[in-house]
Amino acid sequence: MLWILKYFFEIVRTGIFLLVTGCRGPSGFGSASTAEEVTEGIDASGLTVIVTGGASGLGLETARVLALRGAHVIIAARNLRAAEDAKNSILEQCRTANVDVLKLDLCSIQSVRSFVESFKALDLPLNILINNAGVMFCPFQLSEDGIEAQFATNHIGHFLLTELLLDKMKYTARVTGIEGRIVNLSSLAHAHTYKNGIEFDKINDQRSYEDKKAYGQSKLANILHANELSRRLKEEGANITVNSVHPGLIMTDLMRHSVTLMSKLN
């Protein structure tokens, strides 16, 4: 009986209880709160936001609500048809929304570089970068650059994207006086990775590959990236905050490689 009580209090302590029940925390919001509720009363007009993976799932909802609040949203997506459909669905709900679409395949270093060039050619400011896109639990495969796909997409692609856009964000924050925001979508899965955490020497080792642990190490990398970049920007005095966030367990296309899990949760 004692171990049951200890387990229950550990769940409460780690916040999983709040996550599962939807109970509101100190902020007044909980896992059951919607994006519209959280952003109610916020005027984002004049802000430019890039949302990777903004064509579906959490990315689409993020793009939709930010556009609803007046932000100029750039949907960065690999599937341009899906991205255009997402843009049109947002415009149907809010005719005044300002949404653009640019191609971005995070699994390709060349695509990341091309996206940044295309964005800079628009001559827009950049206030917020939301690194949302990702793949999960996929079978072993290498990117065109020879990097394991989950690590390439979830971490390397976003790391490079952030690095290439950082000067633009610093400049925007400096000339506007508005604090810049970088958000990495991570996961509680960061705690369920390989024994040694990130296996840098075995990223591309198919023999030791485990899809769930590989996903976990990519999410751990997202958090470490956010923490270190935040430290460096603070030390530099740049007016930009960097955070990683666990978005909760939501049934989106991210689950497409986990049929068993989907059947249990549906």
Q: Please say if 209 is a catalytic residue.
A: yes
User: Which pair of tokens denotes residue 16?
Assistant: 């999983």
DSSP symbols for 119-147: HHHTT----EEEE-----SPPS-B-TTSS
Name the burial class of residue 150, with classes exposed (0-12), middle (13-18) and buried (19+) by CB atoms within 10 angstroms of its CB.
buried
Instruction: Return d(Cα 125, Cα 127) in angstroms, integer.
Output: 7
If you search the block for the tokens 């064509």, which residue do you land on? 55
- What is the rounded (10 degree) CA torsion for 55, 58, 60, 64? -170
User: Which pair of tokens denotes residue 145?
Assistant: 């650059």
Q: Hey, which residues does 73 pair with through a beta bridge?
A: 49, 99
Instruction: Return d(Cα 54, Cα 156) in angstroms, integer.
Output: 18
Phi and psi of 128, rounded to 5°?
-135, 135
Instruction: Return d(Cα 136, Cα 211) in angstroms, integer.
Output: 8
Instruction: Considering the candidates 171, 194, 209, 215, report the single residue annotated as catalytic.
Output: 209
Q: At what angle do helices 157-176 and 211-236 cross, to 10 degrees?
A: 30
Q: At what angle do helices 57-68 and 80-93 cross, to 10 degrees?
A: 40
Catalytic residue numbers read: 209
